[in-house]
Chains A and B, each alone.
Chain A
Amino acid sequence: MDLFNRRNTDAQQAEIDDLRSQINIARATLHHRLDRQFSQAYLGSLAHTTQARVSEIEGMKGDPRLSTLGRVALALGCMIDMVPILAASASSMPPAYTTVSSVDARFVANGSASHHLPAPPFAAKQSIRVEKNG
């Protein structure tokens, strides 16, 4: 029986969802640092920052700069990436990628610009012109 494993209230779960990125970064920093058997001070010196800053990152405290996070990640042989969330709770979020090419594809497939699409970028105008010419 794992007595530590409790259910979160809705409010706690919402807060955890908000903190998801910080949790992931803290977890990854701790995990990779321990894998490499680095002390916080040594990792700090490799990343041109301080032991206190590394401790803050691992403890989800403060608001470290992206450049600091980048250097810490690099010192651990990692890099920071942004990945789409696949959880059901993310259904209300906009799609992860809306590239120019996908907007173009919808324009061409429909034959006309739909009113609910965002204002077409410059590339989309070009694709319409190509269609007329064809």
Chain B
Amino acid sequence: MARVKQQPWQTVPYIRANGGCDVLDYLDRLRERKLRSWLHFEELRKQIIARGPFDVGPPYWQAVGDSLFEISWGHNRVYCSVEGQRIVMMYAAVYKLWPKFRSADRRKCESGRDDVRSAAYDQEQRELKYLAFCQRRGKDGSL
């Protein structure tokens, strides 16, 4: 049987139309305050890229309903969906001290997902907007 070469997995932060990005902001704060926790996330992200999120599995990758998933480490959660061509799209990040997936977070994820699935969404354009947004805030969005 012919083997079809599959695309590698990607992790992509959702960037709002104004250039703001909740996930990257959260991770920046985490890196400043809790470097170990940020390092743990980076290791998980590498494994997600290398193997795919479903092979990483619980406790780090879990479904939360409505085709949404969470990356979970410690009290930290990043809410995601899996979009076409093996893309893990990350919409929101929270420090979770409650057992439920809050409806406010769910709404944020769903509106982000609607935006991503709309024809107008262009990730490259949004990334440029994010970098401009960082510069406006006087923050180094360096790569």
> Could you list which residues of chain A lie within 8 angstroms of chain B, going by C-beta atoms?
1-7, 12, 15-16, 19, 23, 26-27, 30-31, 34, 39-40, 55, 58-61
Contacts and interface: CB of A to CB of B under 8 A. Distances in A.
B43 interface: yes
Contacts of A34: 47, 51, 55-57
Given A1-B143, A4-B13, A60-B36, 11 more contacts: A4-B11, A6-B142, A7-B142, A12-B35, A15-B35, A19-B36, A23-B43, A26-B39, A26-B40, A34-B47, A59-B36
Contacts, number: 61
Interface in B8-24: 11, 13, 21, 24
A1 B124 contact: yes
A40 B59 contact: yes
Contact of A60 (B11, B40, B55): B40
Interface residues of B, number: 32
Contact of B45 (A4, A26, A40): A4
Contact of B43 (A5, A6, A16, A30): A30
Nearest to B11: A4
A58 B73 CA distance: 10
B115 interface: no
Interface string B37-72: 101101111010001000111110000000000000
Main secondary structure on B side of the interface with A: helix
A60 B39 contact: yes
A6 B143 contact: yes
Contacts of B45: 4
Contacts of B28: 6
A19 B39 contact: yes
Contacts of B35: 12, 15-16, 19
A114 B51 CA distance: 56
Contacts of B24: 3-4
Contacts of B43: 23, 26-27, 30, 58
Contacts of B143: 1-3, 5-6
A5 to B, nearest CB: 6
